[in-house]
Amino acid sequence: MNKNGVLFAVVCSVWLGSFGERLCGQVPGRNEAGYLTPLKFQKGEAQFGNWKISASSRLASQGRFSYGPGNVVLTGSGSAWVEGVRGDGIGQWLHFDLDYPQLFSKVIIRNGYQRTDKAFRENGRVRELRLTWPAGQKTVLLRDMKGAQSILLKKGGLRTPWIRLEIVSVYRGSKYRDTAISSVGFNMEDFNEVP
């Protein structure tokens, strides 16, 4: 899979506008509703307010598959965010902005591209993940497995208006140097009521 460098994508997006985004392959696919820009997705009408999910990069769409940051909140295992830089994606991130500070204690992640066993093996998976929020950060080691993994951030809950997930190291794929995350969730329902 071909990838564009972050600097190249930023130059295309900022200086050339939507034409540049199309030229560089950093544009949402035809069926990607909810995207404010190619790297920023808004999940409206969520149970706990609107979320904006942005990414440092994304792999250009390939055929019927797109790899934007909004994929991590879509249901089903057939989609994923895939970073879009050369190499393994070290330093690439997903950033979740919440409408208002939310209380949760866990991040639930489906690591890698879990569409099929083959896609999971061929694409990179996150090994170490750095989670950052306004009052702190934590680096965790993820298992190299399909299915959901739960990351405890703080016993009793953590109230924050945003959280960022950054790739620190990876389990390399057998075919591609792309690193993917299929889904990200939070256990907000354990602590919050709808406003």
**106-126 pLDDT tens trace:** 999 999 999 999 999 999 999
The domain segmentation of the chain, as residue ranges, is 6-190
Question: CATH number for the 6-190 domain, one of 2.60.120.260, 1.10.260.30, 3.40.50.300, 3.40.50.2300?
Answer: 2.60.120.260
Rounded to 5°, the CA angle 67-70-76 comes to: 80
pLDDT at 150 > cutoff 80: yes
Alpha carbon separation from 116 to 73, 123, 180 (Å, rounded): 18, 11, 13
* pLDDT (average), residues 7-13: 32
Supply 151's token pair. 């990351």
Helix (H, G, I), strand (E, B) or coil at 86: coil
Q: Which is more confident, 99 or 85?
A: 85
How do residues 26-74 score in pLDDT, each as one tens digit?
A: 444 434 566 677 777 776 555 556 778 999 999 999 998 899 999 998 7
Supply 102's token pair. 């939310």
Sign of CA dihedral 24, 29, 30, 35: negative
pTM, two decimals, is 0.79
- What pLDDT score was predicted for residue 163? 96
Supply 144's token pair. 């190299």
Surface-to-core class of residue 166, CB atoms within 10 Å of its CB (0-12 exposed, 13-18 middle, 19+ buried): buried
Binned at pLDDT 50, 70 and 90, residue 188 comes out as: confident
Q: Which is more confident, 178 or 46?
A: 178
